[in-house]
C-alpha cells in the first residue's frame, strides 16, 4: 500500500530533509516514528529535499507498506476514517512525536494509482521572507525571516524576478551536482511587501536545483540594494556559470509552501516524463 503524507516542519534544528548518519534530519525523525508504529523497514520519498535550516508548510512524501505493516496501522477511531486506518496514521505519528514538535504530519491518505511524491509533481512553490531597514527586526519572526541591513527597492526586485521567468538553464543560480540537470521552468517569481513591510517572494517552478531559490533571492536583493541592475540578473543567468555578482541567502527565510500534482489519471505519465532528464536542446523547443 502506498500512503501520501502531508508534512510541515521548522527546519532550524534539522540538518535538512535527507537522512544522514549521526545527524538529526526530518526524514530520520519521521521514519523512526513510523517504524515505532508499523515496524519493519521503510523509506519516505519526498517531493523536495530541503537543505539544512529550510522550513516547510506544504511538504509531501509517500511511503510504501507491506502486508505486515498495513496490519499494524491504527484502527479506525472516528466516523469517516478509512477502514484500513490510513487516515488515523497521521494522529498516531503526532502522538509519537510528542507535544510541540518541530515537525508534524497533518494528513495521511491512501495514494491513488500512479502517485509518486517526487516524480508526479508538476511544480513546487517556495516563499522567502526578508526584513530590511524599513521593516525592522521582530524577534518572534527570527527563525523564518532573513535580515538585510539595507533599504531594499521592492519594485526593482519584482522587475528583476519577473525577467527570469521561463524555461532556461539556471546553472548560474545553482550549486553544481554531478549528473544533475540545471534546466528548469520558472513559472512564477515576484516580490511584494506585506502589511508590516516584510518583503515576501513567491517562487514557483516545475523543479529546483540545489540552492536555486536562495541564489535567485540573492540576485534580486543585489538589485534591491542597487549593486546591480535588472538586466544584470538575466545576463548572469545566460552566462550559465556561477558569477561573483550575487550570493546565496540564508536558509532561515525559505519555506516550501506547496507542491502541485496533476489529475489522478495523469499521475503515472507525469512521473515517467519527469524521470527523463532534460538537456539544452529542450530550451526553446
Where is the binding site, in residues? 126
Closest to 52 in 3D by CA, of 5, 20, 98: 20
* Triad 56, 7, 12: Cα angle to 5°: 40
Set of cell numbers at residue 194: 506585506
Tell me the binding residues for substrate.
126
Question: CA 285: distance to chain centroid?
Answer: 27
Distances (CA, A) of 146 to 60, 217, 251: 25, 11, 8
Closest to 274 in 3D by CA, of 261, 283, 257: 261
Closest to 43 in 3D by CA, of 63, 29, 58: 63
**How crowded is residue 137: how many other Cβ atoms within 10 Å of its Cβ?**
11
Determine which one of 6, 10, 32, 51 is catalytic: 51
Closest to 192 in 3D by CA, of 129, 98, 113, 264: 129
The span from the CA of 139 to the CA of 63, in Å, is: 37
* 66: annotated active-site residue: no
SS3 of 23, please? coil
- Catalytic residue numbers? 51
Amino acid at each position: 500500500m502506498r500512503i501520501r503524507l502531508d508534512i510541515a516542519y521548522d527546519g532550524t534544528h534539522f540538518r535538512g530533509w535527507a537522512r544522514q548518519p549521526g545527524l538529526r534530519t526530518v526524514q530520520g525523525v519521521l521514519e523512526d516514528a513510523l517504524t515505532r508504529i508499523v515496524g519493519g523497514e521503510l523509506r519516505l520519498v519526498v517531493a523536495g529535499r530541503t537543505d539544512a535550516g529550510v522550513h516547510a508548510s506544504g511538504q509531501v512524501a509517500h511511503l510504501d507498506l507491506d502486508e505486515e505493516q498495513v496490519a499494524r496501522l491504527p484502527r479506525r477511531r472516528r466516523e469517516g476514517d478509512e477502514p484500513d486506518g490510513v487516515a488515523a496514521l497521521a494522529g498516531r505519528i503526532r502522538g509519537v512525536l510528542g507535544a510541540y514538535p518541530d515537525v508534524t504530519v497533518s494528513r495521511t491518505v491512501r495514494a491513488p494509482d500512479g502517485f509518486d511524491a517526487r516524480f508526479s509533481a508538476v511544480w513546487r512553490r517556495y516563499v522567502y521572507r526578508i526584513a530590511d531597514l524599513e521593516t525592522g527586526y521582530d524577534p518572534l519572526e527570527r527563525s523564518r525571516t532573513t535580515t538585510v541591513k539595507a533599504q531594499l527597492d521592492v519594485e526593482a526586485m519584482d522587475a528583476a524576478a519577473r525577467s527570469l521567468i521561463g524555461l532556461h538553464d539556471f546553472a548560474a543560480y545553482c550549486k553544481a551536482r554531478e549528473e544533475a540537470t540545471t534546466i528548469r521552468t520558472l513559472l512564477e517569481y515576484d516580490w511584494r511587501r506585506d502589511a508590516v513591510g516584510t518583503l515576501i517572494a513567491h517562487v514557483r517552478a516545475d523543479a529546483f536545483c540545489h540552492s536555486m531559490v536562495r541564489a535567485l533571492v540573492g540576485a534580486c536583493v543585489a538589485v534591491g540594494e542597487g549593486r546591480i541592475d535588472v538586466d544584470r540578473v538575466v545576463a548572469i543567468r545566460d552566462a550559465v556559470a556561477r558569477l561573483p555578482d550575487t550570493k546565496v541567502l540564508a536558509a532561515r527565510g525559505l519555506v516550501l509552501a506547496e507542491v502541485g500534482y496533476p489529475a489522478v489519471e495523469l499521475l503515472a505519465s507525469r512521473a515517467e516524463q519527469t524521470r527523463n532528464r532534460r538537456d539544452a536542446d529542450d530550451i526553446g523547443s
